[in-house]
Every structure is written in C-alpha cells, then in structure tokens.
Amino acid sequence: MAADPLSRVFSALADPTRRDIVARLSVGDATVNELAAPYDVTVQAVSKHLKVLEDAGLVSRSREAQRRPVHLEANVFDLMTKWIERYRRQAEERYRRLDDVLAAMPDATTPPPEGSPS
Amino acid sequence: MAADPLSRVFSALADPTRRDIVARLSVGDATVNELAAPYDVTVQAVSKHLKVLEDAGLVSRSREAQRRPVHLEANVFDLMTKWIERYRRQAEERYRRLDDVLAAMPDATTPPPEGSPS
DNA sequence: ACTTTCTTCAACCGAATGGTTGACCAATCG
DNA sequence: CGATTGGTCAACCATTCGGTTGAAGAAAGT
C-alpha cells in the first residue's frame, strides 16, 4: 500500500468501481451487500474495494447489528483539491506571466526559443 | 492502461514521483534529463512516468532539436475537480439535511443511536 | 561520415492489484 | 442450541506497475 495519504486517495479513486461506490455513498450510507448488488463481481471483491477506500480515509464502517453500514467521509476530498488547486493556480499564473512577456515583446513575432543571442 | 480518462488522471497522480514532476512542471517546462536529475532512478524510468502523465493528458511533449521539452497541461485538472466537487457537495448537502432532521427532533437531547426502546 | 547527446523501445524482474473460491467469525432468528 | 444472514480472512491466479539493463533512433556537433 502507498505510504503517503495523498497517493492512497488518488489511487483509491483511480478505479471506476470505487468511484461509483463513492458516488452511491454520497446519496446515503449503505451496507456491503447493497453496494455489491449492482456489480457482477463477488461480495468479497467489493469488500476489498471498501478496504482500499477505508485505508484512504474516504469511507468509514460502523457496526449496526450484524450489518456494517459504510459511510462516506467527504472531508478527505480537501486533501486532493488543495493539491490540485495549488499547481493549477501556479501553472495558470505562469501562463499569465508568459502572456505578459509576449505582449510586452516589441517585435519578433516568432520569439527566439532559447538564449537570445544579442 | 485504464480505459476512461478520469481513471487515467487519478492513476497518474497516485504516484509521488509523478506528482513531484507535475509540481516542477508547474514552474516551467523541462526536458526529460532535467526532470530525472533529482531522483536516483534511471532516465528511462522517468521517461515511463512521463508517458503515463502524457496518456492521462496531464503533459505534452514538443520537439526542439534533439530535446523533448515537457509541458504541463493544467486544464485536465478540471476533470478531477469537477468529479470531486460533485460528490463532495452532494455529501455535504446530505449532511446538512441530517442536521435539520436532528434539529427538528423535539426532545431526546441524546438521540438514541439504535432502535429506541420506548 | 563518425561521434556525441537526448530520448525512447524491448525484455525482463519483483511487488502490488483486482479478481476468484473456500473457510471462518459475528450476530440475529427458530 | 442450531441455522441463517452479513461480512471478512486466506490462499491463489493473472495482470499491471515501477524499476532495471541493453539496444536503438534521431538530431547536432566535428
């Protein structure tokens, strides 16, 4: 399993079945059997998927009689959005600066790509 | 390789080295050798990482003499943020409704967690 | 033309992943 | 108690993944 939390979250959501499970849990809690019903895989496979989601902190399981209702832990999403936003913003900022440079360029419609030889 | 774009993007970012590469590219374009320098893995390994990022649409390679400058394609992030936001919002909305229900509960300051024995 | 530099392709290896089947635990119902 | 229901654990299998080494491509430099 991945060591860092961010890798675990990204990795957990890299599987379409797991994303689907998250989508369904966003509507409301559900048991393993309920979650497994729509798919043509065994309940054990879904249980494994849930373990991956749980290890990523995306999901928690409580106990209620012999059922184990699964609950979506949506706050972990912030970990990702923060990371994404950071670099997206940085890339956009860089893009903006590049535009400024291009706009400030007096002539040279085709700007020299490397160290410009004076 | 994963079929759907969303899986590819999540999967690509599930690796810390690849996230690091994205972070460095957000500052500016770089060649494979430059990107490989900080790590103690071979250049080929980094080239593979870049292929994964490219297949996910996160990165593009152009040609410039014998160098292949790598460029960050930040707009693909939107794919993820849209997915995340959708379900986070839904989960929060559900949470809010639950709060309303609890608030509307007339008595029972400590709501019985299970079947309430009258 | 030969060499050097930057990069990728191909084959291989060990570890992790997603799936299976079969046995097992835990709690409720008869 | 015994049987049933809901869920997990364990072992196994095929595939994928991240890494290696070695060879090959492609563009410049000499």
As to burial, measured by CB atoms within 10 angstroms (0-12 exposed, 13-18 middle, 19+ buried), residue A21 is buried
pTM for the model = 0.85
B96 contact A CB<8A: no
Angle between helices B5-12 and A5-12 (to 10 degrees): 170
B76 contact A CB<8A: no
**What is the C-alpha radius of gyration for chain A, rounded to an integer number of angstroms?**
23
Query: Does residue B96 surpass a pLDDT of 50?
Result: yes
- Residue B43 CB lies within 7 Å of the nucleic strand D: no
Give the pair of three-digit tokens for residue A6: 């961010």
pLDDT digits (tens, 9 = 90+) for A90-108: 888 887 776 777 777 555 4
CA closest to C1' of D16 belongs to: B1
Alpha-carbon A56 to chain mean position: 11
In 3D space, the residue among A18, A34, A106 whose CA is nearest the CA of residue A68 turns out to be A34
B88 contact A CB<8A: yes
Residue B105 confidence class, pLDDT cut points 50, 70, 90: low
Q: Cβ–Cβ of B6/A16 closer than 8 Å?
A: yes
pLDDT digits (tens, 9 = 90+) for B8-46: 999 999 999 999 999 999 999 999 999 999 999 999 999
List of residues 6+ apart from A83 with CB closer than 8 A? A6, B19
